């Protein structure tokens, strides 16, 4: 390692003079010829100041973190109205922070979900149901792509993480029949996706209809559908159901948002839950336990879906060259909005 003393000897000046020149001491009285000679000699000998020697031994850490994108099927205001999807997103973000990765969320916006100039990301998690075109455009943005809470029925070319809504609905119906219920109603949405390459159905509604039909318990007048699983649609469908001539024993809602709208319609008519009409639902959002009475609902661990989606994406980025499907288990959380089956 070159020292100040060696530079001083080479130029023919004192070590103190070299030190003051290299530290840009403006008070030093020295000819420009000597100053230039010292600087050129130091550069030629590859001299490093103590500060620069320390930097060479401990180079600055690159604080630029790799980024992934969440391609959201909801608009920001729609996500705020559905805590379930907030939970999925937070699960992704928490796992990303733990792995020192940044997350950019691309919310759905008309006329197109994905910007024409895609962000610089190393992978994408597609959250919720997207169209064929949106999924194709996401694949153009990054070959590392995971579908979260969306499981196209014919696709074998994606990593997928979701629950099994069909199995969850069957388990719920079997348990409620065991608890003594036989006159069921349903509030939800049974529209299939319009996708051709990546088709998907709303399996809760379809399974409700198929299972009760097979057990001779299905009433088409008690199968009410809307185009969105919202509080407002739950309330409107419930008003239509409750004002009809034949009231069911129990209503199953596709999600807790619709169940909250159903609660309001029931209470406005002076009916009691569960004595006059029982309620069960899906998702187990935080508000479910604070309703009066607390809501029986199928717990879908939204944060676990998000965490597993990130883990699958990280495996792809690291080089995994085959596809995985992760199915997250569900659990019925029995509360006071309906009878529960015998132990």
d(CA 4, CA 16): 9
DSSP result, 60-75: PP--PPPEEEEEESS-
Residue 61's pLDDT band (cuts 50, 70, 90): very low
Q: Do the beta carbons of residue 69 and residue 103 sit within 8 Å? A: yes
pLDDT at site 111: 44
Give the whole-angstrom CA distance, residue 148 versus residue 161.
Answer: 5
Count of CB atoms within 10 A of residue 318's CB? 8
Kindly tell me if the per-residue pLDDT of 51 is higher than 70.
no
332 and 338 Cβ atoms separated by less than 8 Å: no
Cβ-proximal residues to 46 (8 Å cutoff; 6+ apart), any chain: 2
Measure CA of the first residue to CA of the last residue in the chain; give whole Å: 80
Strands 159-163 and 331-333: unpaired
- If one counts every other C-beta atom within 10 angstroms of the C-beta of residue 75, the result is 14
Token representation of residue 117: 């100039």
Residue 120, both tokens: 């610089």
For 28-42, 44-58, 196-210, 243-257, which range has the lowest pLDDT when averaged over its residues?
44-58
CA distance 311 to 137: 22
**34 three-class SS:** helix
% of the chain beyond a pLDDT of 70: 89
pLDDT at 283 over 80: yes
Q: Band the pLDDT of 123: cuts 50, 70, 90.
A: very high
The whole-number pLDDT of residue 30 equals 80
pLDDT value, residue 190: 79
Q: Is residue 144's pLDDT more than 80?
A: yes
CA distance to 12, 253, 325, per residue, from 216 (Å): 106, 20, 34
pLDDT at 154 over 90: no
Buried b (16+ CB within 10 A) or exposed e, 292-307: eeebbbbbbbbbbbbb
339 — pLDDT class (breaks 50, 70, 90): very high
Lowest mean pLDDT among 155-169, 262-276, 327-341: 155-169
Phi, psi of 317 (to 5 degrees): -60, -35
């Amino acid at each position: 390692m070159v020292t100040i003393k060696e530079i001083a000897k080479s130029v023919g000046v004192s070590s103190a003079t070299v030190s003051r020149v290299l530290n840009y001491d403006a008070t030093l009285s020295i000819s420009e010829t000597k100053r230039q000679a010292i600087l050129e000699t130091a550069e030629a000998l590859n001299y490093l100041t103590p500060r620069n020697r320390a930097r060479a031994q401990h180079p600055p850490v690159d604080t630029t973190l790799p980024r992934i994108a969440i391609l959201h099927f909801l608009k920001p205001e729609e996500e705020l109205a559905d805590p379930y999807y907030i939970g999925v997103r937070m699960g992704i973000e928490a796992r990303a922070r733990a792995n020192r990765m940044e997350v950019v969320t691309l919310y759905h916006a008309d006329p197109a979900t994905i910007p024409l100039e895609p962000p610089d990301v190393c992978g994408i998690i597609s959250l919720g149901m997207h169209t064929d075109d949106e999924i194709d455009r996401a694949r153009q943005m990054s070959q590392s792509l995971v579908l979260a809470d969306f499981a196209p029925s014919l696709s074998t070319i994606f990593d997928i993480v979701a629950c099994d809504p069909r199995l969850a609905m069957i388990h719920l119906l079997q348990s409620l029949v065991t608890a003594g219920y036989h006159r069921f109603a349903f509030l939800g949405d049974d529209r299939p996706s319009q996708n051709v390459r990546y088709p998907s159905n709303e399996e809760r509604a379809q399974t409700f209809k198929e299972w009760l039909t097979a057990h001779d318990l299905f009433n088409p007048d008690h199968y009410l559908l809307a185009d969105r699983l919202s509080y407002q649609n739950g309330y409107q469908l419930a008003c239509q159901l409750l004002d009809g001539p034949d009231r069911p024993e129990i209503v199953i809602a596709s999600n807790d948002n619709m169940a909250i709208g159903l609660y309001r319609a029931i209470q406005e008519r002076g009916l009691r839950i569960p004595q006059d009409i029982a309620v069960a639902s899906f998702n187990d959002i935080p508000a479910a336990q604070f309703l009066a009475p607390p809501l029986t609902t199928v717990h879908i661990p939204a944060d676990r879906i998000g965490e597993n989606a990130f883990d699958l994406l990280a495996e792809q980025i690291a080089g995994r060259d085959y596809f995985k499907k992760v199915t997250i288990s569900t659990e019925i959380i029995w509360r006071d909005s309906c009878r529960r089956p015998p132990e």
